[in-house]
Each structure stands twice: as C-alpha cells, then as structure tokens.
Amino acid sequence: MNDNARNTRADDTERTRRGTADTASQGVADRWAVLLAGHLRPTPRLRQQLAGHRVIAADAGLRHAEMLKVHPDLIIGDFDSAPPELLSRYQRLPRIEHPADKDMTDGALAIEHALQQGARQLLLIGALGGPRSDHATMHLLQLAELASRGIQALASSGLEEAWGLAAGEHAIDLPPGATFSLLAFTDLRDVHLHGARWPLQGDTLPFGHSRPMSNVVQEVPLRIRIGAGHGVLLAHLRPLRPAA
C-alpha cells in the first residue's frame, strides 16, 4: 500500500471536523446507504428499499438527502463538489474531511466507513449515471468486488438497479417485465438463471460477451447460481423502447 493509500485509510477521527465518526455511528447497524452524486429518481420502490438504513452522504451526494427526506448520519469527502449553500444547511452534520489529493473517491471512502461500522448490506444511491463515466463504472466494479467479500450491495438511480454478483446463489427481487443484463467482469462459469424469459442451465458467459443482454424478468424472485466469477446484474425498471 502506498503512502497516499495509508493516508486515505487513516483513522477517521483524525480528520473529523464536527463530531466524531464514533458519535455519528453509535449503535452499529448492518444496513447502510451511501448517497452519491449520480442521477436519481426518488421512486416509491427506492424509498422502501432505503427504509431502515443508516445513511452516509459522499460529498455532493448530500443533495439527494432532501429529495429522499432522510437525514444522514454524517458526510464524507473533500467537499470540492457539494455547493457551499448546501453544506451550510447541514452545518451541524458530523463531517469527515479528506484531502483532495487522494487515491480513493469520496464514494469509496463512504463505503469503506460503512464497512468499518459493520455493514453487511449496502445501498448505493445515485451510483449510476451522472456526469462522470469513470465514477459510474467504478461503482459497478465495486459492486462485484463487494459481492466477492460476501457483502450484499445494490446500486440504484430509481429507474435502474445494479446488483453485485459473485460465486454462489442469488435471489434478486425485480418486478416482472423488468429488462436486465448480466455483465461479466470475468468469465462467469456454470451460470444457472431461473425466472427469466431466456433461462441459463450451467452456461459459461465469457468476459465482455453480449449474449446475456436484455433478458426479461418473468418470475419473482429472479434466481441466479454462479459457479465461479464476478459480475453485475443491471436492470431497467421500466420497459425499454426499441432502438431507432
């Protein structure tokens, strides 16, 4: 680990501006939501998914708090993108400030903090879309990496959802008719898929292959078993219009 990484992962309490991370997180919970700066539609489904979660805002992700009518436990970041007037409205919110010269995104720092607090389920809100394609892509990769560690992680924009997949069995609650794709970040081997228009029976999905695109949910929950590999299930919660 380089010096930047060590500095980035240093004890949060050394960088807390108001309150402390321990005070903000008293009563360890296993379900945490992270507010990120990507696109968001606050649907009833998303509000239901958010219920019962502790909440961390990652810098400009704080703007989603008012839209979702939640009060975060704390805000983490270098505060280079959250508008000053927004930060002023939440001036009593405990903060963990990091330098702008760091080797982790604000979102990754927020996720790491939640895991340190005992999170076993993560809901990443505003992780899909947005002005930075590199950040959105990294969030998808993080989902797969978290799944490999046994952490259940879901990213949502309200209209799209992404679920991390690793070896093992997965039951994913998606509405019938939702369109979904399996994105293989490695070769996915021995894949069984039940409850979809086009099921799979022990198939191998090569890295980067387009075959598992645009499938359709027919039964709830959608069931997936993977023998080996990592990837993401990306779902569109409303029917897609045919391409022109």
Q: Is residue 205 part of a domain?
A: yes
Q: Are residues 145 and 184 in the same domain?
A: no
Question: What pLDDT does residue 186 have?
Answer: 93
CATH code, 101? 3.40.50.10240
Q: Are residues 125 and 217 in the same domain?
A: no
The range of the structural domain enclosing residue 124 comes to: 3-159
Question: What pLDDT does residue 131 have?
Answer: 66
DSSP 243: P
Q: Is residue 72 part of a domain?
A: yes
Q: Is residue 148 part of a domain?
A: yes
Q: Are residues 113 and 197 in the same domain?
A: no
CATH code, 191? 2.60.120.320
C-alpha triplet 162, 226, 33: angle, nearest 5°: 30
**Considering 102, 127, 159, which residue would you say is the last residue of a domain?**
159
Q: Is residue 123 part of a domain?
A: yes
3-state secondary structure of 187: coil
Nearest to 40 by CA among 59, 75, 77, 66: 66
**Considering 132, 159, 186, which residue would you say is the last residue of a domain?**
159
Mean pLDDT by 10 residues, the chain (244 residues): 45 40 49 94 95 93 92 89 83 85 83 93 90 82 92 95 96 95 95 96 90 91 96 84 48
Q: Are residues 78 and 174 in the same domain?
A: no
Q: Are residues 130 and 174 in the same domain?
A: no
**Considering 134, 159, 184, which residue would you say is the last residue of a domain?**
159
Q: Are residues 21 and 131 in the same domain?
A: yes
Q: How many CA atoms lie within 13 A of 81 on its CB side?
A: 20
Q: Is residue 220 part of a domain?
A: yes
Q: Are residues 124 and 192 in the same domain?
A: no
Q: Are residues 119 and 203 in the same domain?
A: no
Question: What pLDDT does residue 240 have?
Answer: 52
Question: What pLDDT does residue 46 have?
Answer: 96
Q: Is residue 244 part of a domain?
A: no
Residue 5 corresponds to which amino acid?
A: A
Q: Are residues 104 and 220 in the same domain?
A: no
Query: Alpha helices, DSSP H only, in the chain?
Result: 3-8, 21-24, 44-50, 63-68, 84-89, 106-116, 133-148
User: How many domains does the structure of the chain reveal?
Assistant: 2
Angstrom CA distances, 14 to 6, 66, 105, 144, stand at 13, 29, 19, 30
Question: What pLDDT does residue 166 have?
Answer: 96
Q: Are residues 136 and 176 in the same domain?
A: no
